[in-house]
Amino acid sequence: MKKISTLDDLKKAGDKGLKSLFPGSVKIVVGMATSGIASGAREVYEALSAEIKKRKLPYILTGTGSMGMDFIEPLVDVIEKDKPRLSYGKMTIDKVPQLIDQIVKGTIDKIKPIYRVDEEDIIAKKEKKQYLKGALPEYLREIPAMYDIPFYKKQVKIATRNCGIIDPENIEEYIARGGYLAAQKALTSLSPESIVEDVIKSGLRGRGGGGFLTGVKWQSCVAAKGDIKYVICNGDEGDPGAYMDRSVMEGDPHSVLEGMIIGAYAIGAQEGYIYVRNEYPLAVANLTKAISDARSRGLLGKNIFGSNFNFDLKIGKGAGAFVCGESTALMASLEGKAGEPRAKYVHTVEHGLWDRPTNLNNVETWANVPVIVARSGKWFSEIGVPHSTGTKVFSLVGKINNIGLVEVPMGIPLKDIIYDIGGGIPGGKKFKAVQTGGPSGGCIPAKMMDLSVDFDALWEAGSMMGSGGMIVMDEKTCMVDLARYFIEFLASESCGKCTPCREGVRRMNDILHDICAGHGQEGDVEMLESMAQGIVDGSLCALGGSAPNPVLSTIKYFREEYDAHIKQKHCPAGVCRALIRYEIAAKKCTGCGVCAKKCPSECISGEKKKAHKIDQKKCIKCGICMESCKFDAITVK
Amino acid sequence: MVNFIIDGKKISAEKGTMVLEAARANGIDIPTLCAHEAVSRSGACRLCVVEMKKGKRAKIVTSCLYPVEEGIIIETKNERVMNVRRLVLQLLMARCPESDVIRDLASQLGVDAQPRFAADEDKSKCILCRSCVRVCEEVVGVSAIGFSCRGADKAVSTPFNEDSAVCIGCGACAFICPTGHIEMETTEETRKIWGRTFKMKTCDVCGRYFAPEDQLKYISKKTGVPLKELAVCTNCR
Instruction: Tell whether A168 is covered by a domain.
Output: no
Which residues from chain B sit within 8 angstroms of residue A524, using beta carbons?
116
Q: Would an 8 Å CB–CB cutoff place B2 in contact with chain A?
A: no
Nearest to A492 among B49, B62, B151 (CB): B151
Best CA proximity match to A228, nearest among A346, A355, A330, A336: A355
Give residue-wise pLDDT tens across range B66-108: 999 999 999 999 999 999 999 999 999 999 999 999 999 999 9
What's the CA angle centered on A435, arms A320 and A532, to 5 degrees? 80
Per-residue confidence at A438, pLDDT binned at 50, 70, 90?
confident
A288 burial class (0-12, 13-18, 19+ CB within 10 angstroms)?
Answer: middle
Q: Is A114 found in the same domain as A49?
A: yes
Interface of A with B in 333-352 (CB under 8 A): 338, 342-343, 345
Which residues from chain A sit within 8 angstroms of residue B62, using beta carbons?
343, 345, 540
Question: What is the distance between the alpha carbons of residues A341 and B100, in angstroms, rounded to a whole number?
Answer: 30
- Write the single-letter amino acid at A433: A
What's the CA angle centered on B53, arms B50 and B54, to 5 degrees? 135
Q: Is A114 found in the same domain as A203?
A: no
The dihedral through the CA atoms of A201, A204, A206, A211 has a sign that is positive
Under 8 Å between Cβ of A147 and A84: no
> Which residues have a Cβ under 8 Å from the Cβ of B207 and sit 6 or more positions away?
none
Which residues from chain B sit within 8 angstroms of residue A341, using beta carbons?
none
Q: Is A13 found in the same domain as A130?
A: yes
Q: Is A242 found in the same domain as A260?
A: yes
Q: Is A581 helix (H, G, I), strand (E, B) or coil?
A: coil
Domain ranges of chain B: 2-108, 131-230
Under 8 Å between Cβ of A439 and A239: yes
Average pLDDT value over all residues in chain B: 96
Per-residue confidence at A338, pLDDT binned at 50, 70, 90?
very high
DSSP letter for A213, please.
B
pLDDT at A88: 97
What length does chain B have?
A: 237
Q: Is A388 helix (H, G, I), strand (E, B) or coil?
A: strand
Q: Is A425 found in the same domain as A283?
A: no
pLDDT at A2: 86
Question: What is the distance between the alpha carbons of residues A32 and A286, in angstroms, rounded to a whole number?
Answer: 12
Give residue-wise pLDDT tens across range A253-277: 999 999 999 999 999 999 999 999 9
Per-residue confidence at A209, pLDDT binned at 50, 70, 90?
confident
How many CB atoms within 10 Å of residue A281?
13
Q: Is A41 found in the same domain as A15?
A: yes
Beta strands in A255-414 (DSSP E): 271-277, 301-304, 309-318, 358-362, 384-385, 388-389, 391-398, 404-409, 412-413
Could you say which of A381, A400, A419 is where a domain stops?
Answer: A381
Q: Would an 8 Å CB–CB cutoff place B126 in contact with chain A?
A: no
Q: In angstroms, how far is CA A284 from the centroid of its own chain?
A: 16
pLDDT at B237: 83
Question: What is the distance between the alpha carbons of residues A306 and A302, in angstroms, rounded to a whole number?
Answer: 9
Q: Which domain holds residue A559?
A: 479-566
The dihedral through the CA atoms of A52, A53, A56, A58 has a sign that is positive
What length does chain A have?
A: 637
pLDDT at B185: 95
Average pLDDT of the residues in A306-310:
96
CATH of the domain at A602: 3.30.70.20
> Which residues have a Cβ under 8 Å from the Cβ of A600 and sit 6 or more positions away?
A620, A622, A624
Q: Would an 8 Å CB–CB cutoff place B127 in contact with chain A?
A: yes
Instruction: Tell whether A178 is covered by a domain.
Output: no
Nearest to B43 among A504, A511, A540 (CB): A540
Average pLDDT of the residues in A451-476:
92
SS3 content of chain A, % helix, strand, coil (to 5): 45, 20, 40
Per-residue confidence at B161, pLDDT binned at 50, 70, 90?
very high
Which residues from chain B sit within 8 angstroms of residue A527, using beta carbons?
116
Instruction: Tell whether A630 is covered by a domain.
Output: yes
pLDDT at A462: 85
The reply to whether ipTM tops 0.90 is yes
In the Cβ-directed half-sphere of A488, how many Cα atoms lie within 13 Å? 12
A128 burial class (0-12, 13-18, 19+ CB within 10 angstroms)?
Answer: exposed
Average pLDDT of the residues in A89-114:
95
> Which residues have a Cβ under 8 Å from the Cβ of A631 and sit 6 or more positions away?
A588, A589, A590, A592
Does A589 score more than 90 pLDDT? yes
Beta strands in A307-403 (DSSP E): 309-318, 358-362, 384-385, 388-389, 391-398
Under 8 Å between Cβ of A316 and A275: yes
Could you say which of A474, A509, A536 is where a domain stops?
Answer: A474
* Interface mutation target, options A503, A524, A533, A540, chain B, most CBs of B under 10 Å: A503
Q: How many cross-chain Cβ pairs, A to B, lie less than 8 Å apart?
A: 106
Average pLDDT of the residues in B28-45:
96
Q: Would an 8 Å CB–CB cutoff place B164 in contact with chain A?
A: no
How many CB atoms within 10 Å of residue A209?
23
Average pLDDT value over all residues in chain A: 95
pLDDT at A1: 73
Q: Is A358 found in the same domain as A216?
A: yes
Question: What is the distance between the alpha carbons of residues A548 and A500, in angstroms, rounded to a whole number?
Answer: 11
What is the nearest CA distance from A339 to chain B, expressed in angstroms? 10
Q: How many domains does chain A have?
A: 5
Q: In angstroms, how far is CA B129 from the centroid of its own chain?
A: 6
CA–CA distance from B177 to each of A574, B57, B100, B133 (Å)? 49, 36, 13, 10
In the Cβ-directed half-sphere of A88, how many Cα atoms lie within 13 Å? 24
Q: Is A389 found in the same domain as A377?
A: no
pLDDT at A583: 93
CA–CA distance from A564 to each of A435, A510, B3 (Å)? 21, 18, 53
CATH of the domain at A18: 3.40.30.10
Give residue-wise pLDDT tens across range A60-79: 999 999 999 999 999 999 99
Instruction: Tell whether A409 is covered by a domain.
Output: yes
* Interface mutation target, options A324, A326, A499, chain B, most CBs of B under 10 Å: A499
Question: What is the distance between the alpha carbons of residues A238 and B171, in angstroms, rounded to a whole number?
Answer: 40
What is the nearest CA distance from B107 to chain A, expressed in angstroms? 19
> Which residues have a Cβ under 8 Å from the Cβ of A390 and sit 6 or more positions away?
A158, A202, A203, A204, A368, A380, A381, A383, A384, A409, A410
Instruction: Tell whether A557 is covered by a domain.
Output: yes
Q: Would an 8 Å CB–CB cutoff place B139 in contact with chain A?
A: no
Using the beta-carbon criterion (under 8 Å), do A498 and B44 form an inter-chain contact?
yes
Least-confidence region, from A287-291, A344-348, A416-420: A344-348
Which residues from chain A sit within 8 angstroms of residue B150, using beta carbons?
321, 323, 493-496
Per residue, what are the HEC states of A506-560? HHHHHHHHHHHCCCCCCCHHHHHHHHHHHHHHHCCCHHHHHCCHHHHHHHHHHHH
Using the beta-carbon criterion (under 8 Å), do A496 and B149 form an inter-chain contact?
yes
Question: What is the distance between the alpha carbons of residues B19 and A492, in angstroms, rounded to a whole number?
Answer: 33
Best CA proximity match to A91, nearest among A139, A40, A33, A125: A40
Least-confidence region, from A320-329, A352-361, A461-470, A555-564: A461-470
- Write the single-letter amino acid at A6: T
Nearest to A504 among B43, B91, B147 (CB): B91
Per residue, what are the HEC states of chain B? CEEEEECCEEEEECCCCEHHHHHHHCCCCCCCCCCCCCCCCCCCCCCCEEEEEECCEEEEEECCCCECCCCCEEECCCHHHHHHHHHHHHHHHHHCCCCHHHHHHHHHCCCCCCCCCCCCCCCCCCCCCCHHHHHHHHHHCCCCCEEECCHHHCEEECHHHCCCCCCCCCCHHHHHCCCCCCCCEECCCEEEECCEEEEEEECCCCCCEEEEHHHHHHHHHHHCCCHHHHCCCCCCC
Per-residue confidence at A440, pLDDT binned at 50, 70, 90?
confident
Best CA proximity match to A314, nearest among A326, A301, A298: A301
Instruction: Tell whether A304 is covered by a domain.
Output: yes
Question: What is the distance between the alpha carbons of residues A501 and A514, in angstroms, rounded to a whole number?
Answer: 19
pLDDT at A8: 97
Nearest to B150 among A494, A499, A531 (CB): A494
Could you say which of A442, A474, A506 is where a domain stops?
Answer: A474
Which residues from chain B sit within 8 angstroms of residue A545, using beta carbons?
none
In the Cβ-directed half-sphere of A350, how many Cα atoms lie within 13 Å? 7
DSSP assignment of A300-320 equals SEEEETTTTEEEEEEEEEE-S
Best CA proximity match to B114, nearest among A533, A496, A566, A528: A528
Using the beta-carbon criterion (under 8 Å), do A494 and B45 form an inter-chain contact?
no
Q: Is the peptide bond before A426 cis (omega within 30 degrees of 0)?
A: no
Question: What is the distance between the alpha carbons of residues B120 and A515, in angstroms, rounded to a whole number?
Answer: 20
> Which residues have a Cβ under 8 Å from the Cβ of A76 and sit 6 or more positions away?
A28, A29, A30, A31, A44, A48, A87, A88, A91, A99
CATH of the domain at A426: 3.10.20.600
Best CA proximity match to B47, nearest among B4, B15, B81, B78: B81
Give residue-wise pLDDT tens across range A623-636: 999 999 999 999 99
Average pLDDT of the residues in A459-482:
92
CATH class of B2-108: alpha beta
Q: Is A461 helix (H, G, I), strand (E, B) or coil?
A: coil
Nearest to A503 among B83, B91, B118 (CB): B91
Q: Is A264 found in the same domain as A145?
A: no
Using the beta-carbon criterion (under 8 Å), do A493 and B149 form an inter-chain contact?
no
Average pLDDT of the residues in B157-165:
92
pLDDT at A4: 96
Q: Is A397 found in the same domain as A322?
A: no
Q: Is A587 found in the same domain as A534?
A: no
Q: Would an 8 Å CB–CB cutoff place A533 in contact with chain B?
A: yes
Question: What is the distance between the alpha carbons of residues B101 and B83, in angstroms, rounded to a whole number?
Answer: 20
DSSP letter for A429, please.
P
| Phi, psi angle pair for B6, to nearest 5° | -120, 125
Which residues from chain B sit within 8 angstroms of residue A498, using beta carbons?
43-46
Instruction: Determine the residue of chain B that is closest to A500 in CA distance.
Output: B88
Average pLDDT of the residues in B135-143:
97
Q: Would an 8 Å CB–CB cutoff place B109 in contact with chain A?
A: no
What's the CA angle centered on A359, arms A356 and A361, to 5 degrees? 150
Q: What is the tally of helices (H) and strands (E) in chain A?
A: 25, 25
> Which residues have a Cβ under 8 Å from the Cβ of A8 and sit 6 or more positions away?
none
Average pLDDT of the residues in A126-131:
94
Average pLDDT of the residues in A105-121:
94
Q: Is A493 found in the same domain as A442?
A: no
Per-residue confidence at A17, pLDDT binned at 50, 70, 90?
very high
Using the beta-carbon criterion (under 8 Å), do A497 and B42 form an inter-chain contact?
yes
What is the nearest CA distance from A492 to chain B, expressed in angstroms? 6
What is the nearest CA distance from B128 to chain A, expressed in angstroms? 7
DSSP assignment of A46-115 equals HHHHHHHHHTT---EEEEE---S-GGGPSPEEEE-TTS-EEEE-S--TTTHHHHHHHHHHT---SSPPSE
